Amino acid sequence: MVEPGQGPVGIIAGGQDLPFEVVEALQAAGRDYFLFGLVGEADVRIEFHPHVWLKWGEIGQLFRLIEQRGISELLCIGSITHRPDFRSIRLDLGAMRALPDIVRIMAGGGDESVLQGVARFFEKRGLTLVSVKDVAPSLVVGPDLSVGSDLAEQSKSDIALASRAALAIGAMDAGQGVVVAAGRILATEGPEGTDQMLERVSRIRHEKRARWDFGKEGVLLKRARPGQDLRFDMPTIGPRTIENVREAGLAGIVCAEGEVLCANRTHTIELARSNGLFLQAHALSDNAV
């Protein structure tokens, strides 16, 4: 095995743009890479890069290529729309050999513990799972993300409440997103994800189940769970988040500095600006009040 930071970065690629933004960042840094495109998820653009297509369960194939290519660092990135039904996955030979471990992971319960199991599974085989923060830090939002400067007092207190709520439920392993408007929690994010949560807020608005000053109040806050392993399912925003926040009638978005990915940053910022929304990264305290 090669030393970490030496060989190519193996990228297990889900859908949309983020895998290619990571590739660009690696190219800019002069790092080599190899893409494992998930069938049914990854974009066909991986064809322009060193790659192979993989189906769920083709772990044997994955490990064969990892060894062939001298990969020691592995990154999982991109959206997963079709979560596999693990009971229906057809496993290849490598996966069959790994079955006892896999069963142990699957039986591990909640999401976070399953992911920890996946990480250990790879580590036992001499691989390091890395996060976007490690290999493409430019994609993670920092204090430089700052669209719309003067926040109203109401927005500031909404942000504080949203942050506390995200911490409280995050400590119970749920929710990277919270929507607060006019001092009231409108939604906390569950497994449905941010887009569906924002659709719900739209519906609350249209059904007049809560009152706020549409477009002038209300914030979507995104932050990691306390102690969250950022190598998996890092909180992410992008152009669609902006569209949905506008549609929901909120005033803007606040991300926790260093904990959130911004896909298509240039386009995302432009969209926020042109819609008059704020979009900022704040240093959020980890202490619940």
Interacting residue ranges for a copy of itself, rule: CB under 8 A: 82-83, 85-86, 109-111, 161, 164-165, 168-169, 171-175, 182-188, 190-193, 196, 200, 203-204, 207-211
Judged by DSSP in three states, 262 sits in: strand
CB atoms within 10 A of CB 109: 10
The CA-to-CA distance between both ends of the chain, in Å, stands at 47
The nearest distance, CB 113 to a copy of itself, in angstroms, is: 9
Query: What does each C-alpha distance from 127 to 62, 97, 272 come to in angstroms?
Result: 12, 17, 39
Cβ proximity to a copy of itself, 90 vs 208, nearer residue? 208
The nearest distance, CB 159 to a copy of itself, in angstroms, is: 13
Q: Is the CA virtual torsion 279, 179, 287, 231 positive or negative? A: negative
CB atoms within 10 A of CB 200: 16
Cβ proximity to a copy of itself, 24 vs 195, nearer residue? 195
Cβ proximity to a copy of itself, 52 vs 182, nearer residue? 182
Cβ proximity to a copy of itself, 117 vs 193, nearer residue? 193
* Residues 91/59, Cβ–Cβ less than 8 Å: yes
Q: Which two tokens stand for residue 66?
A: 């990892």
The nearest distance, CB 101 to a copy of itself, in angstroms, is: 18
Q: Which of 173, 160, 153 is nearest to 224 (CA)?
A: 173
The nearest distance, CB 85 to a copy of itself, in angstroms, is: 6
The nearest distance, CB 89 to a copy of itself, in angstroms, is: 12
Cβ proximity to a copy of itself, 108 vs 258, nearer residue? 108
The nearest distance, CB 244 to a copy of itself, in angstroms, is: 16
Q: Which two tokens stand for residue 166?
A: 């995200």
Cβ proximity to a copy of itself, 25 vs 185, nearer residue? 185
* H, E, C per residue of 77-91: ECECCCCCCCCCCCC
